[in-house]
Amino acid sequence: MGTKRKKNKNDRYAPKKHHDKGPVKAKKHLGQHFLIDEAIAKSIADTLLQKEYRNVIEIGPGTGVLTKYLLNRDIDLVAMDLDAESIKYLNETFPMEHFAVLQGKGSFKVIEADFLNYDLNELFNNQPFGITGNFPYNISTQIVFKMLEHRDLVPEFSGMFQKEVAERICAQEGSKTYGILSVLAQAYYDTEYLFTVPPEVFDPPPKVQSGVLRMVRKTNYQLPCDEQLFKRVVKTAFNQRRKTLRNSLKTFTLSDNLKEDTIFDQRPEQLSVVDFIALTKKIADDTL
């Protein structure tokens, strides 16, 4: 008889082998982890408050588990995916499986495209639209940055990220996770971390937890400063986050008088969005 292997106390946390059983095979190079929990899919669809807009982009619809709950709303939905197999399923099989859902008040269109390279300005004829989805983890931060570039058209954004990314977007000053993404997102949107999603509700299960958030554009989202300079200040400051601003912002060639301001004694994670706006104004005035 062979000796019985002693059970490691961490065995229960080891990832279990999981076989694809859905209509579309998840592809690792696309960062796909398909949600298979109906209740969570409905909860994500419900995150959209949908005030004063009816157009929505769903990024990475995959097998349509979230899509069908979005289509239960009064909505004009564009599902955008880079995966040809997913697009084929959504165009051919999904309509037959969810015929009743597709008879709703809104419209449904499937586009095979890369969201990051797609011209969003013409998608809804320059009408406002929300964005949601179970975002591919490998491009999720890029999705947020592109959304911010189109903030004039996007009053609301929600969806699922890797948990640490969702927490970073919603982090407040003083937190270790507070950074460039936090400041730029919160400059224009009110952010809210909604709930955590465990790995086992995905196919295949990721190695990390996921988090769902909502971002609602601020009523007055035009910054009272040079927005390009604001972005440059934030990025430069956090690129050397352990240094005080006096050291991290040396490339701005500031006057000695301005560098004596006490704000430069602080590190970037200590500054709120309002503080960064004030700092940007001071730098702009100093370089006039």
Q: Which helix (H) or strand (E) holds 189?
A: strand 189-197
pTM of the model: 0.88
Q: Which range among 87-91, 203-207, 257-261 shows the weakest confidence by mean pLDDT?
A: 203-207
State the pLDDT at residue 268.
Answer: 97
State the pLDDT at residue 17.
Answer: 35
Please give the mean pLDDT across all residues of the chain: 89
Residue 100 pairs in a beta bridge with none
CB 181 within 8 A of CB 168: yes
State the pLDDT at residue 34.
Answer: 84
pLDDT tens for 3-12 read: 443 443 333 2
Q: Residue ranges of the domains in the chain?
A: 17-217, 227-286
Residues 6+ apart with CB under 8 A from 224: 277, 281
CB 166 within 8 A of CB 211: yes
Residues 6+ apart with CB under 8 A from 125: none
Torsion sign, CA atoms 19, 23, 27, 33? negative
Above 80 in pLDDT, residue 1? no
State the pLDDT at residue 8.
Answer: 38
Is the fold of 17-217 the same as that of 227-286?
no
- Crossing angle of helices 163-170 and 180-188, in 10° steps, is 60
Residues 6+ apart with CB under 8 A from 144: 157, 169, 181, 185
Above 50 in pLDDT, residue 223? yes
Burial grade of 155 (CB within 10 A; 0-12, 13-18, 19 or more)? buried
Residue 11 to residues 8, 16, 106, 134, 188, Cα–Cα distance (Å): 5, 10, 48, 29, 44
Q: What are the tokens at 111?
A: 């586009």
State the pLDDT at residue 101.
Answer: 72
- Predicted confidence band of residue 160 (pLDDT cuts 50, 70, 90): very high
The yes or no reply on domain 227-286 and CATH 1.10.8 is yes
List the CATH code of the domain at 17-217.
Answer: 3.40.50.150
pLDDT tens for 65-124 read: 999 999 988 899 999 999 899 899 999 888 887 777 777 668 899 999 999 999 999 899
State the pLDDT at residue 204.
Answer: 84
Q: DSSP secondary-structure letter at 7?
A: P
Nearest 5 degrees, angle CA 161-CA 75-CA 26?
40
pLDDT tens for 8-26 read: 333 323 333 333 457 877 6
Region 277-285: mean pLDDT is: 97
CB 165 within 8 A of CB 198: no
Q: Which residue has the tokens 């700092």?
A: 279
Q: DSSP secondary-structure letter at 59?
A: E
